[in-house]
């Protein structure tokens, strides 16, 4: 059930902050929030890796990006 926190938070915030544009705001906030938080903020750790390759995503990040998009579509 933890996978629903990001989509519900993004949808609720979008409905409260921009009700006339709730769908695109929920989509952008819900998609870019986990992407930035899970991947881009950890780019500094790339220097410490032996491989030197960063992979954006993973099962948890994928769910955190996919489900906010689905919830935003239901707002439409």
- The domains of the chain are located at 2-75
68 token code pair: 């906010």
Query: CA dihedral in degrees (35, 26, 4, 9; nearest 10)?
Result: 100
Query: CA dihedral in degrees (19, 12, 60, 62; nearest 10)?
Result: -10
Give the per-residue pLDDT at 56. 61
For the chain, the first-to-last Cα distance in angstroms comes to: 23
Q: What is the pLDDT of residues 19-69, one digit of tens each?
A: 999 889 988 888 887 777 777 777 777 677 777 666 665 666 677 778 888
């Amino acid at each position: 059930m933890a996978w629903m926190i990001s989509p519900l938070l993004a949808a609720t915030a979008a409905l409260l902050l921009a009700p006339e544009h709730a769908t695109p705001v929920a989509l952008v906030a819900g998609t870019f929030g986990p992407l930035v938080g899970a991947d881009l903020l950890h780019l500094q750790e790339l220097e410490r890796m032996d491989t030197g390759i960063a992979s954006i995503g993973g099962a948890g990040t994928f769910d955190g990006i996919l489900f906010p998009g689905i919830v935003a579509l239901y707002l439409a």
